[in-house]
Amino acid sequence: MGIFRSTRLLALTALLWSGSAFSDGTISDGAFSFNYRTADGGADLVGLSTGDALFQIRWYFRLSGGTQETLLSAPDTETYVGNLATLTWNAVGTQGSQFSVVVTFELNDLGVDALSLDANAEVTGIDPVDVTMFYYYDVDLGGTFSNDSAALVSSPNAVRVTDPNTPGEFTVTAAGNDSFQVATFASIRNLLDDAGITNLDNSGLPFGPGDFTGAFQWAEVSLGQGQSSQFGVVSQADPQASPPPVPPAPSIPVPVDHPLALLALLLLAGGLGARALRVN
């Protein structure tokens, strides 16, 4: 397991026992299961042949004018039925700037060592609010934390994580986000947990090998009373790594005084007929 991994788990256990508002639940589909602990966002994604692929998933928010981010923890209700988890916060924020949140996790078995985990936060304004949302995720492929590498698939919303001892890949894709950030555990989480304002800066990729963590940000989404907005992230495990992109074939410029270039110009001008090029 390693000393550092043990330290992470001991710190997590201490946090869980330090508060009374702790619950967890498990959803499953086919060969896979996802366990979530609402007190701290602890997560396990098991069923892959290479072991547990997740350590944490967290949702944070910041209201316009706020001085720091706030972790969504201890929901008012939570249910875990089949392959769907639903967590509900009836009212979060401050007086006069409140909103409700419904977070869902949907797990889908896509075949041998292939799955998707769809995370979605639906935010509805109780009052008119401007809210910034964050999705934080800690991927540990192969059940280890130290060998992960990551690359940007598309900016700013898709990150692919790989491990040299794990076949395939794990891709995390956000919808409609404004920015991302990747860094070694636990620097991004510490930024989101501290008493200052954090804005992700599209940095950290390519990453690794190392102890990978990442986050996505949706900035200043305006909601009127009763209006809703969706914030979605899809994590997908694929047993086959994507092939590297094929570079375009280099273009070879032909000087205009080259015989072939002159011949092409003559043909375009009608100076030669098609029969003139026939070789007998």
Residues ≥6 apart with Cβ < 8 Å to 20? none
Residue 12 sits at φ, ψ, to 5 deg, of -65, -45
The model's pLDDT over 11-63, given as tens digits with 9 standing for 90+, comes to 444 333 333 355 799 999 999 999 999 999 999 999 999 899 999 999 999 99
Domain edges within the chain: 3-238
Weakly modelled stretches of the chain, pLDDT under 50: 1-7, 9-20, 245-247, 249-256, 260-269, 271-280
Q: Which two tokens stand for residue 87?
A: 């967590």
pLDDT at 167: 86
- 0.75 cut: is pTM over it? yes
pLDDT at 241: 76
pLDDT at 143: 80
CATH homologous superfamily for the domain 3-238: Glycoside hydrolase, family 65, N-terminal domain (2.70.98.40)
